[in-house]
Structures are given as C-alpha cells and as structure tokens.
Structure 1
C-alpha cells in the first residue's frame, strides 16, 4: 500500500477546482459511488473529504492531451499537439500559461485530462495574449 501522505504535492487551486467542481462530475461521481449504499436509499452526496480523497486517487494516474483550437469557417476543429503521461506534466500544472507559450506558442489551447480512457475534464487557454485576428488570415 502506498503512503498517500508523501505522494500528495500541492496542486494549484485552478487544477483542484477543475477536477472536483460541478462542471466535470467524474471525480465527484467516483466519490459518490464509492460509498456503501443501504437498500432502498439513495447514496448521499460525497463529503468534501471524500472528494479530496478521490481526487488524490484519480489525479496521479491522469494523462494530459494538448489540443489546438482552430476555427475553420463556421466550425471549430482541434489538432492534437502533444500528450503527457501521468506525472509527466508538472510544469503545465504549476505554470500553465508559461509552459504552453514556451512549448506551443501563441494559440488557443484546450487541455484535456484522462483517467485511462475516461475523459475527466478540460480547460481552455488563450496562450501568450492570443487574439482572434492572429489566426493567420
């Protein structure tokens, strides 16, 4: 059994909120369904502690995918720019804007997080002061 106390690093508030907030229910749902259920009763909503515990179970095994958002006429398409294994994107977590700007330049970027094949959450960045008119038109 791993000592989870030593594996916990500080994660920035934006990341914790992204993983545990109401917009993306993956972590909350896992926390909810981890609870025992009494016959005839609904599972209670998970406590803050249960959600945090589930976050620390899920987050360390998540990979990240970096996509560029490109407007093509009336539709938006996403080009995959890079993929990072679990634990392989600490700089992205600590300094997302700087990391994305340095690695990929000025772009509209979407970062998706996955737990294995399961989509967990996504966040968009307009990197390095990216503006619509810089689309190369």
Structure 2
C-alpha cells in the first residue's frame, strides 16, 4: 500500500502494539520476508521493513472483544463481539470511550487477528472498573 492518504489513522499505542517486541508477529513476517542468502542468517528487519509489513497486515486484521471474569480461583473470558477489518476505527481512535459506551464497566481484552493468526492483545479496565465485582 503505497498511497498513504488511503491509510486509516493509527495512534502510536496501536502501532507499538503491532510492531513492538512483545508481540513479534509483524516483526517476524518482516524478518522472514527477506531474501535468503545461503549460509547466512537473516538480518533483523529495518524500521522501514517493519513499517511496510505493518501496513500490509494491519488493514486486514479483525478484532475480538472479550470480557475477563473471575470464577473462583480462575479467570475466564466471555466473547462480547467481533469487528471485521476496517470496522473498528472508533475503538482505535478512543478505546476507553468506545468500550465504555459499547460494553460498560468491565475488564476487557481486545485481541487482533490476521485471518486465523493471533497478532496481539491489549487489556483495558473500562469505565472505572477496579475489581471483579460479584464474579462479573
């Protein structure tokens, strides 16, 4: 995607989530997308390579919203919703406001996927959530 005007707005927190070292999906694709020179290790990808791979992957990612619920001594996750690629710009623009308005006071996990491949996740304590209240 060479036309930068067609790119959606991406805040720094989301770019870092996708390209940082915590979740290596985009970095790994950039690294293993390089040409192989027999007998040599692949070089670490450059910032430009990572950026190019981000703009290849991000537009096709979809998001899954889960609620974290403590059940006894364990934590389980309940599906709250899914958003197709390009269908969650309000979440990207202001995650706290979007999640609060859409799902209310909860502890929420947002997972991003490239097809069936897990890309990254981020947790939010929404609308003043402070603890597991009454198991919900």
TM-score of the pair, normalised by structure 1: 0.95
Distance in 2 (CA, whole Å) between partners of 1:42 and 1:3 is: 29
Alignment correspondent of 1:84: 83
> What is the aligned-residue RMSD (CA, Å)?
1.2
> Which runs of at least 4 in structure 1 moved beyond 3 Å after TM superposition?
none
Distance in 2 (CA, whole Å) between partners of 1:3 and 1:25 is: 23
Structure 2: runs of 5 or more not aligned: none
The question of 1:136 aligning with 2:112 is answered no
Distance in 2 (CA, whole Å) between partners of 1:102 and 1:91 is: 11
Distance in 1 (CA, whole Å) between partners of 2:6 and 2:61 is: 14
Q: Please state how far the C-alpha of 1:129 moved relative to its aligned partner.
A: 1.1
Structure 1: runs of 5 or more not aligned: none
Alignment correspondent of 2:110: 111
Report the secondary structure of 2:127's partner residue: helix
More helix per residue: 1
TM-score of the pair, normalised by structure 2: 0.95
